[in-house]
Every structure is written in C-alpha cells, then in structure tokens.
C-alpha cells in the first residue's frame, strides 16, 4: 500500500504566484487551479518528499513508494527517465490547468495514472489503486519482454554455433546441438554461453586468416 510520495513539482512557483494575487483573483484561482499537489496528498495522510534535482532524487527515492510529477507534458519523459534510472516505482502525473493546458496533449506511456486538484479523496484513492495495479502489470510485461528478447538472443548464438560446428566438424545440426549441450554440462555453463564463445573464437580466427591473406 502506498504511504509516501516523491514529489517533483516544477510549477510550484507558478501556483504560488497565482495564489498570491488579489482577493478576487485568488477566489477565482482557488476555483480554477485548486490546492497544491503536496497539500492534497498530505490531507489524505501520505508523506511527501519534494525533490528538484537528481542528487535530491537519489537521496529520497529509497524512502518512497511512488512518484508524483507536477510538470509540463513536455518534461514528463525526461523526469520519468531520471526516476527510473534510480529505481522502478509507480509513476503518477498531477493534472491541473498548469500541467495539462491542452486537450491535444498525449500522455506518456510510462505514466501509471493521473490525479488532480478537482478529484475527491475517494476518486484519488481509486486512481492510485488502479495506477499501482497498472504499474505491476506494466513491469510484469516488461520483464516478460526482456526475457523473450534474451531467449531470442541466446537462440541466435546457438544457431550460429551449430552452423560453425557443422562446417568445421562435418556433422549434422542435431549432432552439433548435442555437442553444445554436452560441452555446457562439462564446463557447467549455459549452452548459450558456450555457443557465444565458439562463435567469437571462430570470428577472431576468420579475421586473422583474412588479415594474413592480405599480407
């Protein structure tokens, strides 16, 4: 369950300037802009840690359960990349007239949810719950994708090694596969690692032979 947030708020000064206007303008601002993101989350019982630099993020991020970005749409990807370089966490975007000025804005695919100043406490809790569930689904899909890509890469090395063994030893693909499997067992390595070594050594020998012919 979420208990604390890292808040990255690039527009705090903008909101402060708006809220410090005349009484009439302030009344209009309160209706239009709503409270600040840290105020909303604190009222709901969350701990808030504000950061505005990479160094501050590095210090704070081990303490929090999620991240809230209060930034312009064009800055979402940069901050998302900065945060993910430190730690994988659910990522939410604060939505108000300052951060979401156009209906044409496209939401970044790495954002897990939106919360905003006009939402009720129940709506915010529901948005956070859905966002966390989306985060876990998204990260699970990413892990499965990485595993699949890794297996495809391993298969590529194994196939290359089999072709090399077939050429050098004059054996069938099945026999080459058995050779790789037995070699991996003997060396207590993964078959892909053995295959990679064979391919790289073969490539080095090929390069040396070509260099010798040129001389």
What CATH number has the domain bearing residue 53?
3.40.50
What are the angstrom distances between the C-alpha of 208 and each of 169, 177, 197, 203, 211?
Answer: 20, 27, 17, 9, 5
Task: For residues 167 and 96, state if they share a domain.
Answer: no
75-80 own/partner pairs: CB under 8 Å, 24+ apart: 75/10, 76/108, 76/111, 77/108, 77/110, 79/8, 80/108, 80/110, 80/111
Both 101 and 163 in one domain: the answer is no
Residue 214: the pLDDT is 57
8: its two tokens: 């990255």
pLDDT attached to residue 97: 75
Task: Give this prediction's pTM.
Answer: 0.68
In angstroms, rounded to a whole number, what is the distance separating the alpha carbons of residues 123 and 127? 6
Say if residues 190 and 183 touch (Cβ distance below 8 Å).
Answer: no
Same domain? For 16 and 98 the reply is yes
Cβ-based neighbours of 188, under 8 Å, separated by 6 or more: none
Same domain, 9 and 115: yes
- Does 82 map to a domain? yes
Residues 13 and 60 in one domain: yes
Residues 113 and 30 in one domain: yes
> Residue 207's pLDDT is what?
82
| Per-residue confidence (pLDDT) for residue 31, from 0 to 100 | 40
Instruction: Select from 103, 119, 135 the last residue of a domain.
Output: 119
Tell me the sheet residues that pair with 6: 49, 67
In a domain, residue 133? The reply is no
State residue 135's pLDDT score. Answer: 93
The full DSSP string for 9-24 is ETTHHHHHHHHTS-HH
Each of the 215 residues of the chain gets a pLDDT tens digit; together they read 789 999 998 877 666 655 554 343 444 344 445 578 888 999 999 999 999 888 999 999 999 999 999 988 888 889 999 998 999 999 999 988 777 655 555 665 688 999 988 899 999 999 999 999 999 998 999 899 999 999 999 999 999 999 999 999 999 999 999 999 999 999 999 999 999 999 999 999 888 877 666 55
Give yes or no: residues 111 and 157 share one domain.
Answer: no
Question: Residue 109's domain spans which residues?
Answer: 4-119
């Amino acid at each position: 369950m979420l208990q604390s947030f890292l808040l990255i708020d690039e527009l705090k000064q903008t909101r402060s300037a708006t809220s410090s206007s005349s009484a009439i303008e302030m009344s209009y601002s309160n209706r239009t802009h709503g409270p600040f993101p840290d105020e909303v989350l604190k009222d709901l019982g969350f701990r808030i840690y504000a950061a505005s630099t990479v160094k501050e993020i590095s210090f704070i991020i081990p303490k929090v359960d999620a991240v809230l970005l209060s930034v312009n749409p064009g800055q979402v990807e940069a901050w998302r990349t900065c945060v993910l370089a430190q730690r994988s966490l659910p990522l939410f975007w604060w939505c108000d007239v300052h951060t979401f000025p156009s209906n044409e804005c496209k939401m970044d695919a790495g954002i897990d949810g939106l919360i905003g100043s006009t939402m009720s406490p129940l709506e915010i809790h529901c948005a956070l719950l859905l966002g966390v569930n989306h985060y876990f689904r998204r990260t699970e899909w990413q892990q499965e994708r990485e595993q699949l890509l890794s297996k495809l890469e391993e298969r590529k090395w194994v196939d290359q090694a089999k072709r090399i063994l077939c050429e050098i030893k004059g054996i069938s693909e099945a026999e080459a596969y058995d050779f790789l499997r037995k070699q991996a067992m003997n060396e207590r390595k993964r078959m892909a690692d053995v295959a990679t070594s064979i391919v790289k050594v073969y490539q080095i020998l090929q390069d040396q032979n070509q260099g010798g012919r040129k001389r």
